[in-house]
Amino acid sequence: MINIVRIARTAAAAAALTAVAVAGAPAAQAAPVHAAGFSTVQSCTSVSGKITYGKGLTKTVKTHHSVLTGTVAGCTGLNGAQSGTGTISGALVGKSSYKSVNETGTVTVNWPAGSGFNPSNAAVTLRETSKNGVITVGGTITSGAFTGARFSTSLQPVSHKGSGSKAHPLKSQTLVNTEPLVVSRNLG
Range list of β-strands (E), the chain: 38-57, 62-77, 80-82, 86-96, 101-110, 120-128, 135-144, 150-161, 170-186
Reported as a single tens digit per residue, the pLDDT across 133-167 is: 999 999 999 999 999 999 999 999 999 999 999 99
**What do you get for the CA distance between the two ends of the chain, in Å?**
66
Determine, yes or no, domain membership for 160.
yes
Count of domains forming the chain: 1
Q: Residue 100 sits in which domain range?
A: 40-186
Contact 168, 15 (CB under 8 A): no
Determine, yes or no, domain membership for 74.
yes
Determine, yes or no, domain membership for 164.
yes
Reported as a single tens digit per residue, the pLDDT across 47-68 is: 999 999 999 999 999 999 999 9
Tell the burial category of 60 from Cβ atoms under 10 Å away from its Cβ (0-12, 13-18, 19+).
Answer: exposed
Determine, yes or no, domain membership for 21.
no
Determine, yes or no, domain membership for 32.
no
Determine, yes or no, domain membership for 124.
yes
Determine, yes or no, domain membership for 18.
no
Determine, yes or no, domain membership for 73.
yes
Summarize the confidence of residues 77-101 as an average pLDDT: 95
